[in-house]
Each structure stands twice: as structure tokens, then as C-alpha cells.
Amino acid sequence: MPRFGAGGISSGLNHKPVMNGVQRWENGALKNGMMSEEKVHNGGLYKRPFNEAFEETPMLVAVLTYMGYGILTLFGYLRDFLRTWKIEKCHIATERVEQKDFVPLYQDFENFYTRNLYMRIRDNWNRPVCSVPGERIDVMERFTDDYNWTFKFTGRVIKGVINMGSYNYLGFAQNTGFCADASAKSLNQYGAGMCSTRQEIGNMEKHEELEHLVARFLGVEAAMTYGMGFATNSMNIPALVGKGCLILSDELNHSSLVLGARLSGATIRIFKHNNMQSLEKLLRDAIVQGQPRTHRPWKKILIVVEGIYSMEGSIVRLPEVIALKKKYKAYLYLDEAHSIGALGPNGRGVVDYFGLDPRDVDIMMGTFTKSFGSAGGYIGGSKVLIEYLRAHSHSAAYATSMSLPVVQQIISSMKCIMGEDGTTLGQKRVEQLAENTRYFRRRLTEMGFIIYGNSDSPVVPLMLYMPAKIGAFGREMLKRNIGVVVVGFPATPIIESRARFCVSAAHTKEMLDAALREINEVGDLLQLKYSRHHFVPLLDRPFDETTYEETED
């Protein structure tokens, strides 16, 4: 379960950003006339236009989607019935006979879903790729003769598939060029594995160099790096907060943040996606009421948000979050996994994008897996924070330190983005990405697809809705030599299945045009052009109901 909201399907649906959007829009329209002064004040927080739209799901589409799931569920029950009566062979793990009276392991909804719905379109995921995950990839062809229960290779390779799925935002996933050369040199010099932790003898000069570089890149006092982005979140949040602390988490936060929050033992409260009223209400309640029962004040309040949300393509409303955090004296944990490198005029993430001061964010977290084409994660912040984490974080104490070729890849690509390699190559890539993103998003919107998210976000979700279309879209696109990622439950609410494109600076205009042409064709074939251009500005906040309206009270 990658999300808080996905615990039950219903909760996922209740917090649909769409609903949210409509409501907020109405609020905004109502209050607009009344608070003209606030408008200026609030609008001043943003130095650039913030266009984020979530078009409402058309009613007919929603009904048909539910109907489709209904039919599939009925057939799922039929198949389960056949399996229990041994009429049909069961391919999937079941309860063992010896454990008959134990707690059942495979009976919850997610198992049912995997067995009976996911299995039917499983060929769209886990496809083996046999080349560098750059702008074009080679995919191994495979086939199934038992309806996706097993796959066999045909021995052929589908060559030159345009890759619209990798998080290769700046195109640093390369096997040639200066980054790869430097990594190869580093491999020759140090070998691949470190065989010890940072606290013992796995602390190399390159690690120190990387940390200083990251700190400089982010504009913070100090930084610390880890071998895995997921573990950076899930192991450091428990080091920062604990019992008696409160975590305010966005409902669509990544599962690593969810896991970290749960492991910490702190109380977790969830606010609606990117909804500042919801966040402010939770903050206010937390301060007024304190801890449940005892009513002692919370020890710490930590707001956890992401820079770019990887499934919605939305950008956090950072100026407002920072204003709220300052007003209520909370701490802010910002996960820049997708935004670092991909956003901002200098590629330095959301903070750069909004032109804010990085020191206003208490904990800057990010990963090297996306824009830098490498692996690992970092945490940046004040010197005190980093010293504390160095001593207390589990992934610093118990995990082997990062492999040095990997470190070298980060150093080379980061220096390239910063222009410290003496070229403007990095800056060009950042600009190219922004241009590609705008072009790709604009063209898709013009074609009439429903596209979610912010107009500057390189993550572009295209809504598919119906379960059969998830499978059909992936297959049809691969047939046309385009590799895409399709996403369904449990990564999204059950009716909001989507295809997610990740635009890269490495995509040329020709590739994007080729991809767009095919998407257009498949869109016509599958009738995906749902948009009626009823845009609901999720939060056109400069004009929206303000979060500071009651400051004077």
C-alpha cells in the first residue's frame, strides 16, 4: 500500500483531488470578493504563475469504470469458486492444508485484486529491459500461453523503443559520456563494494566530497548521503520524531514516507492533497488540543510533503507550507525525490522553482535515482541536524556505505548541472527539460486528453480510468514502439487509473512528436479523449481563500 489513502478503497475515493478541487474552487469564488486585501498578500507569496488543474472525471466515464470493475469482480468470484472446488488449476499461493486453522493469509481484497484483476493485464509490467534506460531502450520480447501466469522469452529483442517511463529527467542515464567515464575510472580505482558502514571503515574521501557538493548544491549548511532513497525516508523519520510527536502528512505521500512515519511511533494525521486549509486546520487543532487525553502539547510537529508528487504530477505549494510552518512553529520535511534537478531555473528543486530560501526548509530530502541517473538519497539541513543524524540514523549506522562508482556518477552529473565542469551542458539540459515538459503537456491537452498536475511538472499523468484500457494502452503503445508506464490500483484510487509519462531532457523534438503521434492514434482507438476542458483550478491560490484570514482575530 503505497499511500495512506489506499488502506481501504473507499478512503482513497473520498480524498479524490477532483472533489477537493471543485470544493475549493467554489470557496475561492465565494470569498474572492470579500477579501481583496488578503488576495494581494497571499498572491505575493508566489513569484511565478502556478497552474495546476485537475479536470473532473466525467460522470459517464466514472459509471462505466465502476461497471467494468463490477464485471471483473463477478468473474473473479466465479474463478475463485472454480479454484476452491478444484475445477480449475490454481496457479497462485494459497493457504497450506497444514495451516488450515491459522489466520488466513490470502483473503484480503488486495489478494483478490492481484489474483483476478491484475493478473489479466500483468504483461504490461516488469518487462525486462536489456539496454541503458536512456531515451530509447531495448525490450525483451516475451509471450504467455497461460494468460499471464507465466512468461517465456521469444529470444527476440524489440529495439529502439522510445522510453517515456524512466525518471531520467535530465538524461544522465547514459553508458557513454563523461559521467560514465568518470564512474568507470572510479571503479578501477576503488572497486564496487565498500564492505563496511560509514561509521566504521566505509567512509571514503569521495563520500565526504559528495556531501560537501550536495550541501553546496542545495544551499544548506550540511548534507548526508545514503545508499538508498527509500531507506533515507523510512529510516530517518524515526530518528527525527518519536512518541509524543505529531506528523502531518500529505495523503498522497510516497510509501517510503508512510513507512517512516509509521515506524517512528509518532501520531500521524493526514491532510488533503496539497490543500493548505486542511493543513492549517490540522496544525491549529494540534496546537489547541495537544496530545489526545493528556492534552500535553506535542513535542514536535513535523509537516511531511513531497516536491513533485509522482502520481499526480502536482507541485507542492511550498510558499504557503513555509508560511504556515513559520506561523505555527512546526518543522518541515520536504522530499524532493522527483523535483531535484527537474525543477527550477537552476535545476535545484522546488525551493529554486519558487525562489525561496533553502534554510526555511528544515529537512531537505531527495534521491539521486532520478535526475542524476544514479542511486541513493540525501538529507540536507542545518549542521546540527546532520550531526545528529550521523549519530542516530539507522541507515548511517547499519548500512554499507555507497558504492563509489555510483558516488562518482552523482558528483559528475551534479557538477555538470551546477556548471562546475566548465560547460553549460547541465544548464542546457535543465532548460531543455522545461521546454520539453511544456511542449508535451500542451500538445496532450490540445489533443483532448485529461492530464493531471502542474504545467511545469515533468511527470505527466494521462487518465485512462477503465480497467481494460490500462492493458490496452500499454500493449498498443508497445506495438507502436513506445514504452509507457501504466498505473492502476493500489498506486492510485481505484477509478483513476492512468498512464504516466516522464519527460526527459534527452528526448528530442522528433521523439516527442513521434510519441505524441502514436498517443494521439491510440487515444482515438481507445476513446481516451475525455476532456471537456472544464478546468478546475485545484488551488489557484493567489486568488483563493486565504490561510491567513484569521491572523487578526
Ligand X SMILES: Cc1ncc(COP(=O)(O)O)c(C=O)c1O
| 471 contributes a contact to other proteins by CB under 8 A | yes
Picking from 124, 168, 131, 1, the residue whose alpha carbon sits closest to that of residue 499 is 124
Binders of ligand X in range 373-402 (CB under 6 A): 377
DSSP 3-state assignment of 502?
A: strand
> Which contiguous run of DSSP H or E holds residue 366?
strand 363-367
Is residue 144 within 8 Å of residue 151, measured between CB atoms? yes
One of 319, 458, 467, 488 touching other proteins (CB under 8 A) = 467
Which partner from the list other proteins, ligand X, none does 22 bind, CB cut-off 5 to 8 Å by kind? Answer: none
Tell me the window of 126-134, 135-143, 222-230, 292-300 that interacts with ligand X (CB under 6 A): 222-230
Work out how close the CB of 470 gets to other proteins at its nearest, in angstroms, rounded to a whole number: 9
Tell me the window of 87-95, 121-129, 228-236, 323-331 that interacts with ligand X (CB under 6 A): 228-236
Alpha helical stretches, state H, 393-424: 394-397, 404-418
Binders of ligand X in range 328-357 (CB under 6 A): 335, 337-338
Picking from 429, 440, 261, 418, the residue whose alpha carbon sits closest to that of residue 352 is 418
Residue whose C-beta lies closest to ligand X: 229
Which partner from the list other proteins, ligand X, none does 457 bind, CB cut-off 5 to 8 Å by kind? Answer: none
| 469 contributes a contact to other proteins by CB under 8 A | yes
# residues near ligand X by CB under 6 A: 14
| 260 contributes a contact to ligand X by CB under 6 A | no
Q: What's the grid cell of residue 145?
A: 500461453
| 274 contributes a contact to ligand X by CB under 6 A | no
Which value, to the nearest 10 degrees, does the dihedral of the CA atoms of residues 364, 366, 371, 373 take? Answer: 140
- Torsions phi, psi for 349 (to 5 deg): 90, -170
* Cβ contacts of 100 within 8 Å, gap of 6 or more: none
Binders of ligand X in range 307-326 (CB under 6 A): 310
Identity of the residue, 332 or 466, whose beta carbon is nearer to ligand X in the bound complex = 332
Which partner from the list other proteins, ligand X, none does 196 bind, CB cut-off 5 to 8 Å by kind? Answer: none
Picking from 279, 335, 341, the residue whose alpha carbon sits closest to that of residue 310 is 335
Binders of other proteins in range 118-157 (CB under 8 A): 120-121, 147
Is residue 302 within 8 Å of residue 248, measured between CB atoms? yes
Which partner from the list ligand X, other proteins, none does 233 bind, CB cut-off 5 to 8 Å by kind? Answer: ligand X
Angle, alpha carbons 413-415-419 (nearest 5°): 115
Name beta bridge partners: 140: 157
Tell me the window of 205-213, 426-434, 460-468, 488-496 that interacts with other proteins (CB under 8 A): 460-468
Binding mask 170-209 for other proteins (x = CB under 8 A): ----------------------------------------
Picking from 507, 503, 510, 515, the residue whose alpha carbon sits closest to that of residue 167 is 503
One of 72, 187, 287, 514 touching other proteins (CB under 8 A) = 72
| 20 contributes a contact to ligand X by CB under 6 A | no
Is residue 45 within 8 Å of residue 527, measured between CB atoms? no
Work out how close the CB of 255 gets to ligand X at its nearest, in angstroms, rounded to a whole number: 8
Q: What's the grid cell of residue 330?
A: 512546526
Which partner from the list ligand X, other proteins, none does 306 bind, CB cut-off 5 to 8 Å by kind? Answer: ligand X
Picking from 236, 185, 260, 206, the residue whose alpha carbon sits closest to that of residue 401 is 206
| Burial class of residue 290 in the structure, from the number of CB atoms within 10 Å of its CB (0-12 exposed, 13-18 middle, 19+ buried) | middle
Alpha carbon distance 328, 529 (integer Å): 44
| 498 contributes a contact to other proteins by CB under 8 A | no
Identity of the residue, 227 or 483, whose beta carbon is nearer to ligand X in the bound complex = 227
* Cβ contacts of 29 within 8 Å, gap of 6 or more: none
Query: Is the link from the previous residue into 405 a cis peptide, with omega within 30 of 0?
Result: no
Identity of the residue, 377 or 471, whose beta carbon is nearer to other proteins in the bound complex = 471
Name beta bridge partners: 250: 271
One of 3, 127, 254, 273 touching ligand X (CB under 6 A) = 254
* Cβ contacts of 293 within 8 Å, gap of 6 or more: none
Binding mask 317-356 for other proteins (x = CB under 8 A): ----------------------------------------
Identity of the residue, 256 or 413, whose beta carbon is nearer to ligand X in the bound complex = 256
Is residue 437 within 8 Å of residue 429, measured between CB atoms? no
One of 67, 184, 384, 391 touching other proteins (CB under 8 A) = 67
One of 525, 532, 534, 551 touching other proteins (CB under 8 A) = 525
Is residue 307 within 8 Å of residue 340, measured between CB atoms? yes
| 369 contributes a contact to ligand X by CB under 6 A | yes
One of 5, 21, 227, 229 touching ligand X (CB under 6 A) = 229
Picking from 203, 224, 246, the residue whose alpha carbon sits closest to that of residue 392 is 224
Which partner from the list other proteins, ligand X, none does 367 bind, CB cut-off 5 to 8 Å by kind? Answer: ligand X
| 258 contributes a contact to ligand X by CB under 6 A | no
Footprint of other proteins (CB under 8 A): 64, 67-69, 71-72, 75, 78, 120-121, 147, 466-469, 471-472, 525-527
Footprint of ligand X (CB under 6 A): 228-230, 233, 254, 256, 306, 310, 335, 337-338, 367, 369, 377
